[in-house]
Chain A
Amino acid sequence: MAEKIGKHIAIYGKGGIGKSTTTSNISAALAEAGYRVIQIGCDPKSDSTNTLRGNNYLPTVLDSLREGNKIHLDDISVKGFGGVLCIESGGPVPGVGCAGRGINAAVNLLQELNLFEEFKPDYVLYDVLGDVVCGGFAVPIRDGITDRAYVVSSSDFMALYAANNLFKAINKYAPTGGAKLGGVIANSMKPGYHREIVDDFVAKTGTSIAGYVNRSLDVQQSELYGKTVIEAKPNSAQADIYRNLAKYIAENENLVVPNPLGSAELRDWARSWGDRIYDIENGVVNGLAEAI
């Protein structure tokens, strides 16, 4: 592959964990800072860039592939907030066809259309759906498309479980030129032990935290306006959180191959936290609960 234009970053995480929200806010913050940004939603739901483009209609890459017509970049991209180029891969209707192959085909098509040569981005963010369920969804971190991945996770066990699965995928593909991990974006942080759980998880897996994003009403409100927090509430504390996160991701070159936990290890680790949380909730004093 030719010399890559811009930094290509994949964002993964369990379904509904806040990937699209976080990615869009990072894109918006990077654009605000003067960078040229492309955000590519790799999800058949094609809702990744909604808040960057005020929920306006955007035909997906695969819609045009389905029609079989000659595809032009203009047909499948639109400029959103701060000039962020928004693209949605799209995919089949639920329950039919192969979405994994769809993402693969869409990304290939974008390369054929010389997207990166034409737009000359500083950053390209790929918002990839859900768990890495099959080979198709690992394409963005596998074929040299991105060289770094971030995972969005809350302190919920299932979210960390999904993160651990992504670590496994990275672990598998990194030795053959796949992406490495930039860090974990701890989302929906609430007061209490939530940070500690995620901190402990990254310590155990040899990874690091890219930033903590609080659970905030600003996010939900902005979403209802069809906007990112950066656009709707530029002066809020939450906007600054996203700006800091964007800055970290823009500058971070500390990429690692994570050490995922084995299934038994992960289960034991979760159980140990179950006990600790019980103690915390019941006022049993121990060193870790100081933050409360």
Chain B
Amino acid sequence: MSNVIKNPRNGCALHGALQTVQEIEGAVPVVHANAGCGVINYLANKTVGNGASRYSGFATPGTAVQERHVIFGGASRLREQIKNTIKVVNGDLYVILNSCESAMVGDDVDAMTREIVEQGEPVACTLIAGFNGGSHYGYEHVIYDILKSIDGVKKNEKSTDEKLINIFGIVPEKDPYWQGNLEEIRRIFAGVGLKANLFFGVYGGVNDLVNAKNAVASVVFSRWGELPAKLLKERFDVPYISVSSLPNLASDERELIEKVSEYAKIDPEVKESFLESEGRYERNYLSRIRDDIFEYDLGKRTLIVGDEEQVIRYGKLFKEVFGARVVGAVLTDALKKDEEHETDNTEILEAVAENIYITSDEKDIEDIIKRSRAQVVIGSSLEKRIAEKNNVSLLEFSYPIYHRAILNQTTVGVRGAVEFVSDYITAVKQAEKEKSQVLHDYLKQLKNQNSWQGHTSKKGQVKQINLVSELAARESI
């Protein structure tokens, strides 16, 4: 009955909410849980290359609930913690995050929040507990819950800004390139004279939450942004546009901007000149790799492991730029709560990949990779072992990525496309170089020794012979 899930790459809803809140400048999370809930999120994320977030790990304010708070209720402990946090941590908004524990015990977190708000403090809460879903669910719901209550906390008359666009669906820390990607989206919108309301990262902050209702439209870049966008539509009549993935090529950028221009005022001349320059940028760089495409046979059998948005984006790019065959796509964002979303990307996914799998179980993923006979895997560091074992090139682009610092790099827009493409070509060239190194070493060995049988294992011989014949065939030796 019970299955073992190997290396599930997503945390719980609390973790998603915590990651989200701690990436909003000016927002302070207050975790109402036993100490481990917050710490485990920190430990899981600290190995990935995004660097420390604002409240990294042990410094996260929390109630560190103990058994007596479970038995007698933890509400008064929470009250104490909020008050102390407000005293010692400066913030524009304090966000109380619920956990399995407080939800099961039934602590009235809502009432506690209202009590503190009535005292004039800027506090919001989310009642979702860890067990309600995965990290993506946590992102979506905490943003939704904050937007729902922020009006009562930060007074602000609605006045629509014709240039302001809300950006939803880029999950902080879950998209390894979330910071650079947000910045690239900002650049694209700025290019046509619009302002992106990013919420997170360098240009985001609590003010974006307050201003969200003043946006002229919201753009939802993955299904996980649907709920907050819908809320703004219902409450403040802010329309929203859903797209299946972030833009990559100049044509994607054009499509996006055209859609947005139905709601936002964009000067047609500015738009044309910007999109034209984006096209030029893309053409310039992509034309530089046309020789490589043929020389290294870059249209390989490819398998993509990642969140739905990334799978669609990377898949399209690989097909369009290299003419690759995407033999499989593994969606790792916990899609269980799917019923909540209107977004249905089945058709798009089917157009991108030949087979679609939904799992975040490493064992399943390893089996899928083995069966797929893919030559290239776009995935996370968790796929490294199986890729090496099967002699497959691995491009690490989805969560988690270890042993690499990812600060402001992007995989989005024409710049992201170029970055991605160069990484891929580098990986292929590196693999080729390693292969020819083996060949050269072997030939050298042959020259120096009369009898090599004594020095190499049988398996090693077979491997070398295979390599030699492969290289010989390709390099016509």
Residues of chain A at the chain B interface (Cβ within 8 Å): 62, 65-66, 68, 91-93, 96-99, 101-102, 105
Contacts and interface: CB of A to CB of B under 8 A. Distances in A.
Nearest to B66: A68
Interface stretch (B37-45, B71-79, B330-338): B71-79
B70 interface: yes
Nearest to A102: B71
Grouping DSSP codes into helix (H, G, I), strand (E, B) and loop, the B interface class, with mixed when no group exceeds half, is helix
A107 to B, nearest CB: 12
B75 A96 contact: yes
B73 A92 contact: yes
B472 interface: no
Contact of A65 (B71, B74, B104): B71
A93 B74 CA distance: 12
Interface string B44-85: 000000000000000000000001111111110000000000
B394 to A, nearest CB: 44
Contact of B104 (A66, A98, A105): A98
B348 interface: no
A66 B72 contact: yes
Contacts of B74: 97
A101 B75 contact: no
Nearest to B71: A102
B78 to A, nearest CB: 12
Given A66-B68, A97-B72, 18 more contacts: A62-B71, A68-B68, A91-B71, A92-B71, A92-B73, A96-B73, A96-B75, A96-B106, A97-B70, A97-B106, A98-B70, A98-B71, A98-B104, A99-B71, A101-B67, A101-B105, A105-B67, A105-B71
Contact of A96 (B67, B68, B72, B104): B72
Given A96-B73, A97-B73, A65 B105 contact: no
B104 to A, nearest CB: 7
Q: Which of B69, B73, B104 has the most CB of A within 10 A?
A: B73
Interface magnitude class on chain B = 10 to 19
B73 A101 contact: no
A105 B72 CA distance: 12
- Nearest 6 CB-CB pairs, A to B? A97-B73, A96-B73, A102-B71, A97-B72, A92-B72, A98-B105
Contacts of B73: 92, 96-98
Contacts of B70: 97-98, 101
A65 B68 contact: yes
B202 to A, nearest CB: 43
A89 to B, nearest CB: 10
B463 to A, nearest CB: 52
A72 B357 CA distance: 59
Contacts of A91: 71
A196 to B, nearest CB: 42
Contacts of A62: 71-72
A108 B448 CA distance: 74
A98 B65 CA distance: 13
Nearest to A99: B71
A201 B168 CA distance: 61
A91 B71 CA distance: 7
Contacts of B75: 96
A98 B107 CA distance: 10
A98 B105 CA distance: 5
A1 to B, nearest CB: 21
A62 B67 CA distance: 11
Contacts of B106: 96-98
A102 B68 CA distance: 8
B107 to A, nearest CB: 8
A100 to B, nearest CB: 9
Contacts of B104: 98
Contacts of A66: 68, 71-72
A202 B70 CA distance: 38
Contacts of A92: 71-73
A129 to B, nearest CB: 15
A62 B74 CA distance: 15
Interface in B103-124: 104-106
Contacts of A102: 71-72
A62 B71 CA distance: 9
Nearest to A97: B73
Contacts of B72: 62, 66, 92-93, 96-97, 102
A167 B458 CA distance: 66
A101 B34 CA distance: 15
B161 to A, nearest CB: 45
Given A66-B72, A92-B72, A92-B73, A97 B105 contact: yes
16 contacts: A65-B67, A65-B68, A65-B71, A68-B68, A92-B71, A92-B72, A96-B72, A96-B106, A97-B71, A97-B72, A97-B74, A98-B70, A98-B105, A98-B106, A101-B71, A105-B67
Nearest to A100: B71
Nearest to A92: B72
A267 B69 CA distance: 40
A143 B73 CA distance: 24
A101 B106 CA distance: 13
Q: Which of B70, B71, B74 has the most CB of A within 10 A?
A: B71
B449 to A, nearest CB: 66
Contacts of B71: 62, 65-66, 91-92, 97-99, 101-102, 105
A62 B69 CA distance: 12
Contacts of B68: 65-66, 68
Nearest to A44: B71
B169 to A, nearest CB: 37
